[in-house]
């Protein structure tokens, strides 16, 4: 059963808020609507795995440095998970009561795997730019499985992705940092899980079951003046040679500063949980109201009602 969690976020600016041949695409298919952003801010936070996820997931990226969806950083790959949000169909005007009662269709989930053929198998993943943002995971009713205040970073570096070349992921997107003598021409990007891939300015246009998305090309200083090319390598597998953007990224606006996020907490159990409101007193203690259908919803000693009664508990 999937876990549905309540997320509460406090923002500094408001003091408190609930938290061969190249492949081509001539035009999007009618069903290939662009995947919408589900993040309202350009901020980027990188959450370290402190035991709240399987070991293979080293970091999770919040924000959109690599495009829409959820980004997972692993030792051997970067994963982009897109889809899962309700599909928009027909007019967005007034809906009938029958339409409101219908469960919306969800875009299918799609996992895109990004790797770098010929890269260094002994590369290291190192976080940098520690942030003061607090992110906690209180999932289930076993306190030993809770993970308060996990480390939060502003960036992650794949050290020696290729000899003398680091890949940095942060608010500015994916950037290459090369030391003197490094062979940037050796860099190749492989994309798995896209039905079609084509160049679109300084990005790749990817066609997935969840819709179309744009994946920014790599940026950095003194990159080779070589045109990128897309090469099909098998069903839903493409390789991009010289996957470099031609232009420098625009400076990040101060309003997008990740430090604006003070804390975020995941709270819930193995069933459906719904939050109604959250308030924080002068001591920083948060009080949450809502309803839970989870028998393992987390509680603390001395709680008024630590067990689930009936189908749901307020």
Q: What is the pLDDT of residues 150-194, one digit of tens each?
A: 999 999 999 999 999 999 999 888 999 999 999 999 999 999 999
Token output for 30: 């009618």
The answer as to whether 275 is a domain residue is: no
The answer as to whether 52 is a domain residue is: yes
The answer as to whether 219 is a domain residue is: yes
Task: Please tell me the least confidently modeled range out of 148-157, 194-203, 230-239, 292-301.
Answer: 292-301
Mean residue pLDDT across the chain: 76
Q: Is the pLDDT of residue 115 over 60?
A: yes
Which residue segment(s) compose the domain that 13 sits in?
6-19+21-254
Task: Please tell me the least confidently modeled range out of 66-80, 119-133, 281-295.
Answer: 281-295
Cα–Cα distance list, 11 to 41, 107, 266, 278 (Å): 11, 30, 16, 13
Pick from 191, 174, 75, 77: nearest CA to 123: 75
The answer as to whether 224 is a domain residue is: yes
Q: Is the pLDDT of residue 204 over 80?
A: yes
User: Would you place residue 301 in the very low, low, confident or very high pLDDT band (cuts 50, 70, 90)?
Assistant: low
3-state helix, strand, coil in the chain (%, to 5): 5, 40, 50
Q: Is the pLDDT of residue 229 over 90?
A: yes
| Phi, psi for 250 (deg, rounded to 5) | -70, 145
Q: Which residues contact 290 (CB under 8 A, 6 or more apart)?
A: 6, 273, 274, 275, 276, 277, 314
pLDDT the model gives residue 94: 54
Q: What is the pLDDT of residues 53-67, one digit of tens each?
A: 999 999 999 877 676
The answer as to whether 287 is a domain residue is: no
- Parallel, antiparallel or unpaired: strands 229-234 and 6-11: unpaired
Query: What is the DSSP code (8-state) at residue 248?
Result: P
Q: Is the pLDDT of residue 40 over 70?
A: no
The answer as to whether 309 is a domain residue is: no
User: Would you place residue 44 in the very low, low, confident or very high pLDDT band (cuts 50, 70, 90)?
Assistant: confident
Q: What is the pLDDT of residues 88-113, one digit of tens each?
A: 555 445 555 555 555 567 778 889 99
The answer as to whether 282 is a domain residue is: no
The answer as to whether 38 is a domain residue is: yes
Count of domains in the chain?
1
Pick from 218, 132, 116, 121: nearest CA to 174: 218
Q: What is the pLDDT of residues 24-33, one digit of tens each?
A: 222 333 334 4
Task: Please tell me the least confidently modeled range out of 15-29, 72-86, 112-126.
Answer: 15-29
């Amino acid at each position: 059963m999937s876990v549905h969690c309540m997320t509460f976020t406090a923002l500094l600016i408001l003091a408190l808020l609930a938290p061969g041949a190249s492949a081509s695409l001539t035009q999007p298919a009618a069903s290939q609507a662009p995947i919408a952003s589900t993040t309202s801010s350009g901020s980027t936070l990188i959450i370290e795995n402190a035991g709240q996820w399987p070991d293979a997931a080293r970091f999770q990226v919040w924000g959109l440095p690599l495009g829409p969806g959820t980004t997972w950083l692993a030792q051997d790959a970067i994963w982009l998970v897109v889809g899962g949000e309700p599909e928009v169909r027909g007019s967005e005007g007034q809906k009938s009561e029958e339409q409101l009662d219908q469960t919306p269709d969800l875009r299918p989930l799609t996992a895109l795997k990004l790797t770098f053929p010929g890269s260094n198998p002994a590369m290291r993943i190192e976080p940098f730019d520690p942030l003061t943002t607090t992110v906690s995971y209180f999932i289930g009713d076993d306190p030993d499985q809770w993970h308060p205040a996990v480390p939060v970073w502003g960036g992650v570096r794949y050290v020696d992705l290729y000899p003398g070349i680091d890949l940095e992921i942060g608010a500015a997107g994916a950037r290459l940092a090369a030391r003197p003598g490094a062979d940037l021409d050796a860099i190749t990007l492989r994309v798995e899980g896209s039905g079609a891939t084509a160049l679109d300015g300084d990005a790749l246009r990817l066609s997935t079951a969840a819709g179309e998305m744009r994946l920014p090309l790599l940026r950095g200083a003194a990159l080779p003046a070589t045109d990128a090319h897309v090469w099909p390598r098998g069903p839903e597998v493409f390789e991009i040679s010289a996957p470099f953007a031609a232009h420098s990224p625009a400076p990040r606006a101060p309003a997008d500063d990740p430090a604006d996020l003070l804390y975020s907490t995941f709270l819930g159990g193995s069933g459906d949980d719904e939050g109604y409101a959250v308030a924080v007193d002068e001591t920083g203690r948060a009080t949450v109201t809502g309803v839970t259908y989870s028998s393992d919803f987390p509680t603390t000693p001395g709680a008024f009602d630590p067990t689930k009664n009936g189908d749901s508990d307020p």
